[in-house]
A = this chain, B = another copy of it.
Amino acid sequence: MSRAVRFHEFGSADVLKIEEVHLGQPGPDEILMSVEAIGLNRAEVVFREGKYLERAVNFPSRIGYEASGIVEAIGQGVKDFKPGDKVSTIPAFSMAKYGVYGDAAIVPAAAVAHYPDNLDKFQATAIWMQYLTAYGALLEYGKMTEKDVVVITAGSSSVGFAAVELVNCVGATSIVTTRTQQKKQALLDSGAKHVIVTDEEDLAERVMEITAGKGASIMFDPVAGPMLKSLADASADQATIFEYGALSMTTTPYPLMIALKKGLNVRGYTLFEITGDKEKLHRAKSYIYEKLKTGAIKPVLDKTFKLENIADAHKYMESNEQLGKILVSVN
């Protein structure tokens, strides 16, 4: 028997329960892994609330995208992994079906990857969601070059930190937003070139100041709502605004007149465009693996919780106090 986090109804963090489950053996093209560490994502909070792109269809539902651990068994047709391999998961599956919160998980073999030796089990849980999300927008679609000025909102999230690292990898200029002074220094220390404190400073005004009136060429935003208008105001002509989340949970007015004047592209985006495309995923994985191996990028880790305290870990994520990845240690 394994321990798994499941929930029997949508709701607050307290709906998460640790339960005994029988996982059985991996099916064709699946692997069974023991889980050593789990990385938390905002997607899981929203999934738990019943507001995510994917909705749990049967209760109790499993949950969780990112875990690292050891391959215990492989299903029919699995070629790239063998028992004993150290792997971590790529969020390219249904959470309801394959959710990885627990001490073991069965996942599709196509959704796991070996991780570089220079990473520990915690860092290994903080690779694919954050770097694939940032890579897909900024590099695969955004074709970012050193000439780009990139505005990164919600900069203290794990994806925010990852985006700053990729901006620095290509030598572009990052402008990171955060609501209060509290995290400003940490963001600068982690490599952000400029930080705008949105409770105190006007986003568009500051971006125009930094760019000598030209505006930013790429925006990378999981907030939406009224933020979209601010980003449009801060945009250069023909900028691309990537919307990759719905954190504001309010309606999002489309800034039509500014979009017409500036020729703006507002691009809805999730990493599933990358994970669902073999070729794009391969390109992204190679790039990220290489950068991790050389140390050019390195996951920023926040607090570690115990599996029994998974509800507290979710509450902590909802507090927005974190800087980088919130972790769960298993055993």
Contact = CB atoms under 8 A, between A and B. Distances in A.
Contact of A267 (B253, B265, B268): B265
A254 interface: yes
Most buried by B among A246, A252, A259, A261: A259
Interface string A83-127: 000000000000000000000000000000000000000000000
Interface string A243-265: 11110000111101111111111
B243 A256 contact: yes
Contacts of A244: 260
A263 B268 contact: yes
Contacts of A266: 254, 259, 265-268
A270 interface: yes
Contacts of A245: 260
A264 B260 CA distance: 17
Nearest to A267: B265
Copies of this chain held together in the complex: 2
A238 interface: yes
A252 B253 CA distance: 6
A113 to B, nearest CB: 23
Interface string A38-80: 0000000000000001000000000000000000000000000
Contacts of A270: 260-261, 263
B263 A265 contact: no
Contacts of A273: 238, 263
A254 B238 CA distance: 18
A260 B238 contact: no
Interface in A266-285: 266-270, 273
A256 B252 contact: yes
Given A238-B273, A263-B268, A267-B264, A253 B256 contact: no
Contacts of A238: 273
B268 A259 contact: yes
Contact of A264 (B228, B246, B259, B268): B268
A259 B246 contact: no
A5 to B, nearest CB: 25
Contacts of A326: none
Interface of A: 53, 224, 228, 238, 243-246, 251-254, 256-270, 273
8 contacts: A243-B260, A244-B260, A252-B256, A253-B253, A260-B268, A261-B270, A263-B270, A265-B267
The 4 closest A-B pairs by CB, nearest first: A259-B268, A254-B254, A252-B254, A266-B266
